[in-house]
Amino acid sequence: MFTISEKIIHKLKVKAVPLLAASRRKKLNNTDFTIISNNCWGGICYEYFGLPKLSPTVGCYFYAEDYIKFVLNLTHYLNAPINIIRSNESKHYESLKAKNQLDVPVGVLDDVEVILLHYKDPKVAIEKWNRRIQRINPNNIILKFSFMNECTDE
């Protein structure tokens, strides 16, 4: 667990993010980019610089195999309708259960699943996903992948 001082420092850092965003943003050469990330890093990055979220993957995460399929055929998956399933219907059910994330909506894009971690309401998740797809800058996409969520060297 965290100590009281660690909790206070964390809260101060969270409060400082929007206050410092403008000065951070001035150091960027370009602010019109889309981050396609396999975890929450993209959303944190947009918030750190105080930028609009130009990616549907904000607030979501992918299991490694699904993310690789997603980015290798990005146009196809971004044009696929997102459907919501219950976690017990997910191919990642056992992992979601182990993470205590059975109440998290799971989006399905054709044969790829995206875990909508920061959205308790599936309707909100779909709304934001679809709205952010419209914001994508196809000429300036940053792909970011972390070694996590059942990622292996293979």
Q: Where are the domains of the chain?
A: 32-144
| pLDDT, one tens digit for every residue, the chain (154 residues) | 778 888 887 777 777 777 778 888 898 899 999 999 999 888 889 998 999 999 999 999 999 999 999 999 999 999 999 999 999 999 999 999 999 989 899 999 999 999 998 888 999 999 999 999 999 999 999 998 876 666 567 7
- Please tell me the predicted confidence (pLDDT) of residue 150: 60
pLDDT value at position 81? Answer: 96
* pLDDT at residue 127 in the model: 93
Looking at residue 5, what is its pLDDT?
A: 82
For residue 33, which phi and psi values (nearest 5 degrees)?
A: -135, 150
Question: What pLDDT score does 40 carry?
Answer: 87
Q: What separation in angstroms does the CA of 143 have from each of 29, 34, 67, 71, 88?
A: 18, 8, 10, 8, 29
Q: What is the CA radius of gyration of the chain?
A: 17
Which tokens belong to 110?
């054709």
